[in-house]
Amino acid sequence: MKQSNKGTYIFEGTVLEVMPNTLFKVEIPEMENKVVICYLSGKMRKNFIRIMPGDKVSVEFSPYDDQRGRIIYRFKPEKSYESKS
């Protein structure tokens, strides 16, 4: 968990389910595997960042409500290299 300058808290989680209206169910391991509903930040919508189930994301929470979060970053998937033998 990190705290940003704006007084919000940032956690890393995994997207479990994609719901209508750019809502997502995200599992946060640092919060005892709590599942929260998150929405996309404006810059991610503007730049057409696609979020799929299984993606690792950063979620920002307000200090007032820990039930809803905002997805602010999608981590790049790790490439798996197979040996060519």
* pLDDT over 90 (residue 13): yes
CATH number, span 2-74: 2.40.50.140
The pTM (predicted TM-score) of the whole model is 0.83
User: Tens digit of pLDDT for each residue in 25-67?
Assistant: 999 999 899 999 999 999 999 999 999 999 999 999 998 998 9
Boundaries of every domain in the chain: 2-74
User: Tens digit of pLDDT for each residue in 72-83?
Assistant: 999 988 765 565
The pLDDT assigned to 6 comes to 74
The pLDDT assigned to 83 comes to 54
Residue in 74, 85, 24 with CA at minimum distance from that of residue 49: 74
CB contact burial 2-14 (16+ within 10 A = b; e otherwise): eeeeeebbbbbbe
